[in-house]
Amino acid sequence: MSGCRLAITGISSFWGTELARRLERDPAVDYIAGIDSRPPTAELERTEFIEADIRSPMLARLLPTTGVDTVVHCGILWYPERERSSSALHEINVVGTLQLLAACERIDTVRQVIVRGSAAIYGCEGPSPYFFTEELARRAPLRTRFQRDISELEQYFENFARRRPDLVCCMLRYQPEIGAGLDSPLVRYLTLPVVPVQLGFDPRLQLLHADDATGALAAAVRTPVRGAVNVAPNGSISLSRILRLCGRPAVPVPPPLFGPAIEQLNRRWLGAGGLLGDGIRFLRYGRGVDNRRLREEIGFEPRYDADAAVRDLAAKSRRTRLGPDLHPGTLAARLTGIDG
């Protein structure tokens, strides 16, 4: 990796910024270009910010001027952000990825392309494998818009990899991340004063610690691997145990009413936007993935297993209020309809 020059798309995102911050400390990295329509939210010392919308064809003219050998795509959105509504997610995720790959076709110096994708491509169903391996993608129905978008952009990426066998193309399929410093719909959900759950369901989940999420991405930059790689902690943990560890009481809600209850929370606190349906299925059936390729081929061993990641969130969320400032009794009454 000596003398590495890389470009990070989505540099304004939490993950793009954190990756740049970590790689800036690596003496083997000579140059980092951060590409986004918005600047990074944190101060970066050695990263050159290039203002560009990933959906624009202009990217094909800008990216080759950087002379990078590695491109890391952190611009895929899992939920709406400020100035990026739920209606824009498809365009950013699918069209943006397509424009980036077209730009990579024009870079003579590029040797490696890494995409920070999602394990949503495996779907969320009751009769599913305990842990999905990489070759099981698209075996289950893709029922939500986000799952179909992830599948579509992966197809574009696979076609690109076949056209360019000289490049190392890696798709990282991330499980959802948690962390006390991470402002996401899932973290806000788990730290509500009371947490609505679907009556009769207790899914087993793999929630990746935010530090391991960045560490896995940096490791993939240093150790090029072809194909899809699952990024997840070791083991899994039930939702009921997660809530016990976090000290959050659960409110069982009949499945037909769970969607409306979450929608009510979403409008005020969660901010999941168009990914609400994906989250509802995830919190009903759960999803586990096999992380052997991550550990054995990339050589990254997650510091936190599934249980430890939740314990760390629980310990830090007790010191810092992460959920909404609302009395638990009032929230429970609203969710169950007692207060009308």
* pLDDT tens-digit readout, 62-101: 999 999 999 999 999 887 665 666 667 888 899 999 999 9
| pLDDT tier, 339 (very low <50, low <70, confident <90, very high otherwise) | very low
Q: Which amino acid is at 123?
A: G
| pLDDT band, residue 338 (cuts 50/70/90) | very low
Residues facing 118 on adjacent strands = 174
| Residues 243-262, mean pLDDT to the nearest whole number | 93
N residues, the chain: 340
The contacts of residue 91 (CB under 8 Å, 6+ apart) are: 55
* pLDDT tens-place string over residues 201-224: 999 999 999 999 999 999 999 998
Whether the pTM exceeds 0.95: the reply is: no
d(CA 139, CA 325) in angstroms, rounded, equals: 42
pLDDT at 298 over 80: yes
Distance CA 23, CA 147 (A): 30
Locate 94 and state its tokens.
């699918």
Higher local confidence (pLDDT), 323 or 198: 198
Structural domains of the chain in order of their starting residue, each with its CATH number: 4-179+207-235+287-304 (3.40.50.720)
Q: Specify burial of residue 321 (Cβ count, 10 A radius: 0-12, 13-18, 19+).
A: exposed
Tokens at 199, concatenated = 């009556």
Average pLDDT over residues 244-261: 93
Looking at the chain, the number of H-run helices and the number of E-run strands are 13, 13
Amino acid at 53: D
**Strand, helix or coil at 179?**
coil
Q: Residue 78: left if φ>0, alpha if ψ -120 to 50, beta else—which one?
A: alpha
* Residue 323 CB neighbours (<10 A): 20
Handedness of CA 325, 323, 248, 246 (dihedral sign): negative
What is the per-residue pLDDT across 27-67, written as a single tens digit (0 to 9) for each? 999 999 999 999 998 999 999 999 999 999 999 999 999 99
Q: What is the residue type of 93?
A: N
Q: Within its chain, how far is the Cα of 264 from the centroid? A: 24
What pLDDT, on a 0 to 100 scale, did the predictor assign at position 260?
A: 87
